[in-house]
Structures are given as structure tokens and as C-alpha cells.
Amino acid sequence: MRHPWIGCVVLGALMSSPSMGESHREGEVMIAGTTKSVHVSLGGEDCVIARHQSKNHPVHPMYITTTRGKIQPMQLGLGIETIGELEFIDWMQRAQSDSSIMIVDTRTPGWHANLRIPCSFNVPFTDFADQYDDALFHLTETFGVIEKENGELDFSKAKTIVGYCNGYWCGQTPNMYVRAKYSLINLGYPADKLKYYRGGMQAWTSLGLTVVGSQQ
């Protein structure tokens, strides 16, 4: 079980330690404290998380409109933790040495291909909509859930999922977590193993953080 003080220690290091990235120079755009960049290696992908250094860098064109979707709640459900950018980066770093943590883009493949947070794995929320077999495939083949001979699901080794979608107006992660017919919660997934980066791509790009994809 994760102790609550561990995250505080790691985030404190992220905000203050030059060893987590490049040292601070006056005028540079920092992630937090003296941290300019963070190196992450996940799923065979190496990436450097940093903020764009141009003072005139605009929000990505994919995220400049304000009329999309519907505003999502801060809390998706009891036990599901909502996190911000620093916590998300913290989880990315921990996932490098802990295979029980997955950084998941819950959007459909087109969104993922166009623009995404580096080192994230795509599991489309649509696979949890109305086909149990599709949801079961991801539970057992991706998320570490064991299907017993009698059909019951064993979540004792389920991975911690750190999920994101397009942002606070996007319902893709909320659907995969709690709203879809075969949502993770409806299938019995432990709520404390679900982390919701509510800001998603909207917040990530507004801060000029590193993105990859065909539209970068």
C-alpha cells in the first residue's frame, strides 16, 4: 500500500532538485521550482518532459476553442483520485521502475495519433461501451486482472491506471472509469487504483508541456 507521504517527498524533489532536470537559469520556463525538464523512459519510448521556452508560444491549435464538450466533475467517484500536472509527471517517473503503474491515454486512436502526452499507452474508452469481451480483453491483457475459471475477476494484481483524455470538458476518461456499461468501476476495478488527470491535453498544452504526434 502506498504511504501518503511518498508522493509529497517525490513532488518536493520535483519542485526543488536540479538533479531531476536541468538547473534553472534566469528567464527560463520551468516545470516547477528549479526543474526545467524531466527524462522519462516508458514502453520503449524515451522522452523529455519540458515546457516550451518561447515567450510567444501559443496554445496548440487543437485546443484553442472554448465550446467543446461538457464540464466534467472534479471527483469522478469515491476513491478515484483527481490529479494535476506535477502529480501526473510524478506518476510517469514512478512507472519507469514500477510495472504496476500504467500511463493511459483513454481517447480514441485518432486523437492519440494526432497529439498525445509522450510515453502514454492508448486504451480507447470505446472498448468499454457495450461489448464485455472488449473490456475483458483490456482487463486481462493490459491491466493485470486475472479471470478465474468460474469467470470471476481477481483484481489483486490490477495495475494503477493514470488516465487522461482531452481535458476538463472531455468525457472519455470519465466514461471508461465510471459511466460506460462496462466501465472499470462497474466491472469491479479498485477505485484507489484509478487516477484521473482531469486537465488532460487542454491543460497540458496550455502549459506548453511536451507533446508528440502527427499534429505536434
Cβ atoms of residues 109 and 125 within 8 Å: no
- As a whole number, the mean pLDDT across the chain is 91
- Assess whether pLDDT exceeds 50 at residue 97: yes
The model's pLDDT over 132-162, given as tens digits with 9 standing for 90+, comes to 999 999 999 999 999 999 999 999 999 999 9
Q: In whole angstroms, what separates CA 33 from the centre of its chain? A: 22
DSSP 116: B
- Assess whether pLDDT exceeds 60 at residue 24: no
Where residue 127 falls (left for φ over 0; alpha for ψ -120 to 50; beta otherwise) is: alpha
User: Predicted confidence band at 27 (pLDDT cuts at 50, 70, 90)?
Assistant: confident
C-alpha cell at 132: 464485455
Query: Domain spanning 39-206: which CATH class is it, in words?
Result: alpha beta
Prediction pTM value? 0.90
- Assess whether pLDDT exceeds 50 at residue 17: no
**Domains of the chain, residue spans:** 39-206
Tell me, what's the pLDDT at 206? Answer: 97
- Assess whether pLDDT exceeds 70 at residue 47: yes
**Residue 18 CA: distances (Å) to CA of 13, 26, 34, 49:** 9, 14, 6, 14
For residue 122, give every residue at least 6 positions away whose Cβ sits within 8 Å of its Cβ, in sequence order, or none: 104, 105, 107, 109, 112, 116
User: Predicted confidence band at 64 (pLDDT cuts at 50, 70, 90)?
Assistant: very high
Q: What is the mean pLDDT of residues 185-208?
A: 98
Rounded CA-CA distance 41/61 in Å is 27
Tell me, what's the pLDDT at 155? Answer: 98
